[in-house]
Amino acid sequence: MAQATISSKNQIVIPREAREALELKAGDKVLVVVRGKRVLVLQKPVSHRAALRGIARNLYPSQHVRKERQSWE
């Protein structure tokens, strides 16, 4: 597990392990989400549409989806 230290200017360096996992490079923006006492660092998507694409994939069995589509006709 990687660790970061807060500097005297209240800055942190994102550890290499995390930067590589998120494929971050200099100048990229990240989202910092605070959930109670937990903090999440997320890669800011270039396109929100691209970030949401496929999010519900395989949520329902294929037979269910087929049945629903048939009911529309």
- Pairing type for strands 38-43 and 30-35 reads antiparallel
Q: Which residue has the higher pLDDT, 26 or 2?
A: 26
Q: Is residue 37 in a domain?
A: yes
- Taking residues 52-64, what's their average pLDDT? 77
pLDDT of residue 7: 94
Let me know: does 45 contact 28? Beta carbons within 8 Å.
no
Q: Is residue 9 in a domain?
A: no
Q: What is the largest CA-CA distance in the chain?
A: 65
* CA atoms of 73 and 64, how far apart (whole Å): 15
- Taking residues 59-65, what's their average pLDDT? 80
pLDDT of residue 69: 86
Q: pLDDT tens digit string along 36-50?
A: 898 888 877 777 787
Enclosing domain of residue 48: 25-72
Q: What is the total count of domains within the chain?
A: 1
